Amino acid sequence: MRTGTNHLFIPGPTTVPEDVRMAMNVAMQDQRGPEFGALTLGILADLRRVFRTTTGQVMLFPGSGTGAWEAAITNTLNPGDRVLMARHGQFSALWAEMATRLGLVVDVIDVAWGAGVPVSEFMRRLAADRKGEIKAVFVTHNETATGVTSDVAAVRRVLDDCFHDALLFVDGVSSVGSIDFRMDEWGVDLAVTGSQKGLMCPAGLGILCVSEKAMAAAEKSTMRRAYFEFRDMAATAATGYFPYTPPTQILHGLRRALDRINAEGLDNVISRHARLAEGVRRGVAAWGLMTCAEHPSLASNTVTAIRVPEGVDAREVIRIGYERYNASFGSGLARLAGKVFRIGHLGDLNEGMCLTALAVAEMALVEAGADIEFGSGVAAAQAWYAQGRMAQATLRMAAE
């Protein structure tokens, strides 16, 4: 018999705030009714602000981020097109696999799982592409499997410096709404996210933001598609409706989640994620353990992948956390299975939740055989969080 709170420390789906959950508790409604369009139009307008775009078109596909990946590819590229991608974690690997299965010629750069996007190698290949055969560059902004955030702005600079016209695709599933993302400023053409991470809703919506350049490319694309057709979605979205049945309850939840983001302020949301993530990382360092990210500059503010000590199986840490302490940690994926466990720290999150994650992880690590001093990670995070709160209080007093 499990009692108390089920602690969800995976990098998605994330905890759904109570007011968002209650907002979804509405009767079924007519998705063709006169008031439905206003609901959707308001959501689309607020999502444009989350993506930081004034010209991009937001599309909501019932499905997942993976579905949005497919929509981005099939609407803007053609069979046989060359694309440039890096494979440095499970999700970037899956995106490359999808591109191959959809008939693209994928130039894959394999780098260590823990590294970021290889910007210098991207530059070399783009500079050598004198005939413009590379039609798109794909960037996994936040590789959820490794806890690594890559520099999208640097990839845009490379494209510009090479005078290359390739489309820039960005997987922002675990970054948009939590980590700084700038669609217009970075010249992103297709950005993909989902409803179940920083947007604090259940899974069920694949969300795309599409630039004017990408919309123009969609007019020339010959790749087969039906459900994921941009033209159909754009035609109905202009009035707030869908070409097929939408998940109305999730839309009501998303409306409330966006209200929460607006009330806190997007910049404050991003700063909160950075502050909370740093506390988790300081806790890991106090244990004497390493993260999967190769360098602190690559560390993700939404998920930390923690390398377990020699002789400890990360799968045991996860099992103990779940079975004995009612806490779910993210598993190591593919080649990282048994080597890392992950603490997700995104969405509706505060200091107490991060401290709980560290405290439970300490107990699970010790029971799995790690030589960890109880309280060491928690104390390091506490010191960081307390320091931040005191600094904020000082700033408020000075402003008054």
362 domain-assigned: yes
What's residue 391's pLDDT? 62
Do 201 and 285 sit in the same domain of this protein? Answer: no
Q: Average pLDDT for residues 3-10, to the nearest whole number?
A: 91
177 domain-assigned: yes
What's residue 166's pLDDT? 98
Residue 400 has pLDDT above 80, yes or no: no
3-state secondary structure (DSSP) of residue 41: helix
Domain count, the chain: 2
**For position 355, which CATH number holds?**
3.90.1150.10
Do 280 and 314 sit in the same domain of this protein? Answer: yes
What's residue 5's pLDDT? 85
- Residue finishing a domain among 263, 285, 314: 263
Beta-sheet pairing, 7-9 with 82-87: unpaired
Do 284 and 258 sit in the same domain of this protein? Answer: no
In whole numbers, what is the pLDDT of the chain averaged over residues? 95
1 domain-assigned: no
189 domain-assigned: yes
Cα(351)–Cα(356) distance, integer angstroms: 9
2 domain-assigned: no
Do 275 and 307 sit in the same domain of this protein? Answer: yes
Q: What are the structure tokens assigned to 362, written together? A: 């300490």
Residue 395 has pLDDT above 60, yes or no: no
Categorize the per-residue pLDDT at 398 as very low, low, confident or very high, splitting at 50, 70 and 90.
low
256 domain-assigned: yes
Q: CB-based burial of residue 379 (10 Å sphere; 0-12 exposed, 13-18 middle, 19+ buried)?
A: middle
Categorize the per-residue pLDDT at 3 as very low, low, confident or very high, splitting at 50, 70 and 90.
confident
Q: Average pLDDT for residues 396-400, to the nearest whole number?
A: 60
Residue 335 has pLDDT above 70, yes or no: yes
Do 236 and 306 sit in the same domain of this protein? Answer: no
Categorize the per-residue pLDDT at 263 as very low, low, confident or very high, splitting at 50, 70 and 90.
very high
Residue 331 has pLDDT above 90, yes or no: yes
- Residue finishing a domain among 204, 238, 263: 263
Categorize the per-residue pLDDT at 34 as very low, low, confident or very high, splitting at 50, 70 and 90.
confident
Do 227 and 289 sit in the same domain of this protein? Answer: no
Do 135 and 250 sit in the same domain of this protein? Answer: yes
Dump pLDDT digits (tens) for 92-151: 999 999 999 999 999 999 999 999 999 999 999 999 999 999 999 999 999 999 999 999
What's residue 123's pLDDT? 98
What's residue 275's pLDDT? 97
375 domain-assigned: yes
Q: What share of the chain is helix, strand, coil (3-state, %, to 5)?
A: 45, 15, 40
Residue 388 has pLDDT above 80, yes or no: no
Q: Return the half-sphere exposure (C-beta side, CA atoms, 13 A cut-off) of residue 211.
A: 20
What's residue 337's pLDDT? 97
Q: How far is CA 168 from CA 73, 109, 345, 363, in A?
A: 11, 16, 27, 44
Residue 185 has pLDDT above 80, yes or no: yes
Residue 118: asked if its preceding bond is cis (omega within 30°), the reply is: no
Do 149 and 189 sit in the same domain of this protein? Answer: yes
Do 33 and 64 sit in the same domain of this protein? Answer: yes
A 10 A CB-CB count for 142 gives: 30
Mention every residue, 6+ apart, whose C-beta is less than 8 A from residue 358: 280, 283, 343, 377, 378, 381
Residue 336 is part of which domain span?
7-12+265-399
Q: What are the structure tokens assigned to 111, written together? A: 């780098």
Lowest mean pLDDT among 2-6, 156-160, 259-263, 282-286: 2-6
Return the bridge partners of 83, or none.
Answer: 106, 136
284 domain-assigned: yes
A 10 A CB-CB count for 338 gives: 16
Task: Looking at mean pLDDT, say which of 2-11, 230-239, 240-249, 320-329 comes out highest.
Answer: 320-329
Do 231 and 288 sit in the same domain of this protein? Answer: no
- Residue finishing a domain among 214, 237, 263: 263
Do 130 and 198 sit in the same domain of this protein? Answer: yes
What's residue 254's pLDDT? 98
Dump pLDDT digits (tens) for 36-51: 999 999 999 999 999 9
**For position 35, which CATH number holds?**
3.40.640.10
What's residue 298's pLDDT? 98
270 versus 33: which is more confidently predicted? 270
Do 83 and 202 sit in the same domain of this protein? Answer: yes
Categorize the per-residue pLDDT at 240 as very low, low, confident or very high, splitting at 50, 70 and 90.
very high
